[in-house]
Every structure is written in C-alpha cells, then in structure tokens.
Amino acid sequence: MINKTVNNVTKALEGVHDGMTFMLGGFGLSGIPENCIQELVKRDVKDVTCISNNAGVDDFGLGLLLKKKQIKKMISSYVGENAEFERQMLSGELEVDLIPQGSLAERCRAAQNGIPAFYTPAGYGTEVAIGKEVRDFDGKPHIMEEAFKADFAFVKAWKGDEAGNLIFKGTARNFNPLMCGAAKVTVVEVEELVKPGELDPNFIHIPGIFVQRIFQGEHYEKRIEQRTTQS
Amino acid sequence: MLDKNGIAKRIAQEVQDGFYVNLGIGIPTLVANYVRDDIELEFQSENGILGMGPFPREEDVDADLINAGKQTITALPSASFFDSALSFGMIRGQHVDLTILGAMEVAQNGNIANWKIPGKMVKGMGGAMDLVGSAKKIIVAMMHTNKAGDSKLLKTCSLPLTGVECVTKIVTNMAVLDIVNKKFRLLERAPGVSVEAIQKATEGDLIVEGDIPEMEL
C-alpha cells in the first residue's frame, strides 16, 4: 500500500506559500475543509488566489482569510453571503472572477482528467463570454472554458483510509471529489481516518491515486447557514 | 393580483407527471407546496441531490444535507447524491425537464437578467447561467413590476444578461405569458386584473389575441 497519511494539518500544508493558487471544496459552508482553512489563517499566507464556489461568511470559512486580507483573487460562482467580500470587491481591493457554477465544476473536473478545455452553452451572450472562443455545435453557440491550474487542492471528505480512498457524505460532496487530483498537491481532511480494508471498494467515491496527503481533522463545527425546519 | 404563493400555485399546474424539476431560490421554492398529489416528480437541487424532500424536523437537521439556497432539507427514499459536475451534467445534458427561476428582467426575445446590478449588487450567477443555457423549458416566476413600479417585462434587458433567447414562459402576479416571434403573448390574467392593466405594466410588445381567460387556481 502507498500510505498517504500525514500526522496533522501542519504537515499537510507543508510547501504552501504566498502567491499560490488554491482550490477549496465546499458549497456554502457545507463540506468546507475547516482544518486547512484554519491553518491557512494561522500561516498568514498572502496574495493567494482561491478557486471555491463560495467565499464563506464574514466569520467562518474563507471569510476568515478575507478578513485578514490574505486573498488577492477569488474565482467563484456565488458570493452573496459575505459583506466583507462585497466591500473588498466594490472598493477594488479584491480581484473577482465570477463564473457559472457548472463551468466551475467542469473546469475542476477537466483539470483532474487531463482535458485542457471544453465547450459549454453556459454564459454565451453574457459578460462571461468576453474574450472566450465561441463555436457552434448543432447550430447552437458554445463558449470555450479551460481547465483550472492550481498548486494545492484542499478537500474535505467524510471517511478516508490510509491509501487515500475517499467517501463523501450527503450534499457535502459537491466540489470536493472534482478537486482531487486537479492541483499539483491534493490535501484531504476527513472526519474519520481508517485502516485499508475498512472501506468497501464498491463504495469508494475517489480512489487514492488522486490524493497526496490525508489526515484526520479535528473539532468540526459544520456551521449551518440557513437552518430551516418544518413549521 | 396574486401574491408569491399565488404565483407558485399557478406554476405548479405546469409540472407534469414524471418530470425532474429544478427550483430556483425565492418564489420557485414555493412551487413544491402546490404540486398535485397524483403527480410523480423529483426535485433536483444543483448542489448535488436528486429526490429532495421537505424541510427537516428540528431533530433531523443535518449540516451535510442542504439545498442550493443553503437551507437544511431532507432526502426522500428515492434520493441520490452526486458531485457538482454530474449535477450540471444533468442540467447541461437536458435530463432535467423543467427549470423554474426568478428574474430581475425578461426581454421579449427571451433574454433574462437576474445576477448583477452594476455598482450596486454583485452576488454572482451561481448555477443560473448553466440552467438557462441548457434547459428544455424555462418558466420565470416574478412580480410583473419592480419596487419602483417599473415593468420587468421589457423590449430589451438593461441589466447584464444571464442568458439569451431562452425563456419560454413567464408567470407574474398579474399574468401568464409566453414568448412567440420575439414578443410577449398574453395567455391568462390573474383574478381581477384587466388586460388594460397588464398592457400598462408591460413595457415590451404584448400580443393580445381574443378573450384572455382568468387563471384557474
């Protein structure tokens, strides 16, 4: 077995430095790599580019990096829950590239799968298409979107084994599996790290080949943005 | 004139047996409350669930189970979870039958704007551009006019576009309309609303053919 485990988050983030591009899994606050984000805050890495569907909220998730002005550029699809984000964007302190959610997902998947670019109808005729190649297929216009390039991917899974095989839970899956192997180094934090053989190979979502480092995370807060219950 | 629930109730009549449906945030979410019991359908939420159930009881709330509006939800026995690329594969690949979403503006050629007000509000498009870029059928749920009283059904959109020539039907608090030959066509009136009132509230070209029936709710 090729063992992918590292002892802790400090080891997991070795080699991270200023100016790098990171991918971070999660949708809203669901399935975000809480331990890795805390460590990025602690290390105070600056001028980073973050590829993440959302930007957290003011005091949690990527909002913590925003507050410390560690982020130079955000590549996201929806950033509506964060007042500090909006302030930094409108004042020009923060560079923002907003792209359709499906294109964001597919650009991760393309990077993971060695596909340099693809065509999609999403965004044709809008601001998103500016500067991009347009090509008709079956009489319908599509725009070309390119695979992302990133230095580190920070991923949160539910369970993982020492070989780096991963299982995700519920809608906390979202972008996490697509970012595995989509950056030069993929770091995965799991709620439960187990020995090989404890996970059924039939139910592995991501094979360990896409993972370089895995560790068991601690103190998951799993904050809920919109707690909605039956009245 | 209808309220938000009235709009949702009317749109629920458009949902057919066997449909996979994606509901946007706001009025579209309410549509789920009004679908007839004898209709079998599944709701897709683009963050990665098919077979979305109602909101949970307090004791069943799970941070790992939310919808695209980040609300806590439940999963039906028929549900499945998947990653965001497969989710948008369902959308882009036209496996989802019906998309219902809100809008700030709709133009008479089917253009839609709902993601940005330059200099004021930039929240992002989320999945809206993917949804309108590929959906087989798109119904827009919105108020006929904005808070200032200006028409949201326009000759051309003034705000940055979300998609081009894609809207097929619009249900507002005043009317049901579709788009033919790059014009709005009035199909139904909300209870107590006159054709004249709808015409006045519609900036775009409006086709009115024969008697326009009142909605049956």
Of B56, B88, B122, the CB nearest to A102: B88
Burial class of residue A187 in the structure, from the number of CB atoms within 10 Å of its CB (0-12 exposed, 13-18 middle, 19+ buried): buried
- Taking only the tens place, the pLDDT of each residue in B82-112 is 999 999 999 999 999 999 999 999 999 999 9
Side by side, which strands form the sheet with B138-141? B75-81, B49-52, B42-45, B20-23, B98-101, B138-141, B169-171, B175-180, B183-189, B206-207
C-alpha B16/C-alpha B36 separation (Å) is 10
Of B63, B88, B133, the CB nearest to A224: B63
Q: Which ipTM value was assigned to this complex?
A: 0.96
Burial class of residue A4 in the structure, from the number of CB atoms within 10 Å of its CB (0-12 exposed, 13-18 middle, 19+ buried): buried
Cite the beta strand spans of A121-173 per DSSP E.
Answer: 134-137, 140-146, 152-161, 166-167
C-alpha B42/C-alpha B23 separation (Å) is 11
Chain A: nearest CA to B168, how far in angstroms? 17
Average pLDDT of the residues in B11-39: 94
Q: Which residues of B touch A31 (CB under 8 A)?
A: 64
Q: Which residues of B touch A123 (CB under 8 A)?
A: 129, 133
Of A77, A123, A225, the CB nearest to B70: A225
The confidence score (pLDDT) of residue A82 equals 84
The confidence score (pLDDT) of residue A87 equals 87
C-alpha B48/C-alpha B44 separation (Å) is 8
Q: Is the separation of the CB atoms in B83 and A178 below 8 Å?
A: yes
- Taking only the tens place, the pLDDT of each residue in A67-96 is 999 999 999 999 987 888 888 988 899 999
Q: Give the global pTM.
A: 0.96
Catalytic position from the list B14, B40, B42, B46: B46
Residue B46 annotated as catalytic: yes
Using CB atoms and an 8 Å cut-off, which of residues 126-165 of chain A contact chain B? 126-128, 158
The confidence score (pLDDT) of residue B180 equals 95
Say if the Cβ atoms of B128 and A228 lie within 8 Å.
no
- Taking only the tens place, the pLDDT of each residue in A110-135 is 999 999 999 999 999 999 999 999 99
Could you tell me the CA-to-CA distances from A200 to A155, A166, A191, B33, B124 in Å, in that order? Answer: 21, 11, 17, 39, 39
The confidence score (pLDDT) of residue B17 equals 97
Residue B122 has pLDDT above 90, yes or no: no
Probe site for chain B from A90, A104, A119, A228 (most B CB atoms < 10 A): A228
Cite the beta strand spans of A100-149 per DSSP E.
Answer: 117-120, 134-137, 140-146
A157: Cβ contacts below 8 Å, ≥ 6 apart: A166, A167, A168, A176, A188, A189, A190, A191, A205, A206
The confidence score (pLDDT) of residue B111 equals 98
Average pLDDT of the residues in B116-144: 92
Tokens representing A185?
A: 């180094």
C-alpha B28/C-alpha B8 separation (Å) is 6
Of B70, B127, B164, the CB nearest to A101: B127
Chain B: nearest CA to A5, how far in angstroms? 24
Chain A: nearest CA to B44, how far in angstroms? 12
Range A208-223 burial, b when 16+ CB lie within 10 A, else e: bebbbbbbbbeeeeeb
Residue B121 has pLDDT above 80, yes or no: no
Shortest CA distance to B53 belongs to which of B38, B42, B64, B39?
B42
Residue in A with minimal Cα distance to B67:
A171
Which residues, given as ranges, of chain A have pLDDT below 70? none
Shortest CA distance to B24 belongs to which of B136, B184, B138?
B138
Q: Is A55 on the interface with B (CB under 8 A)?
A: no
Chain B: nearest CA to A200, how far in angstroms? 18
C-alpha A222/C-alpha B14 separation (Å) is 37
The confidence score (pLDDT) of residue A90 equals 84
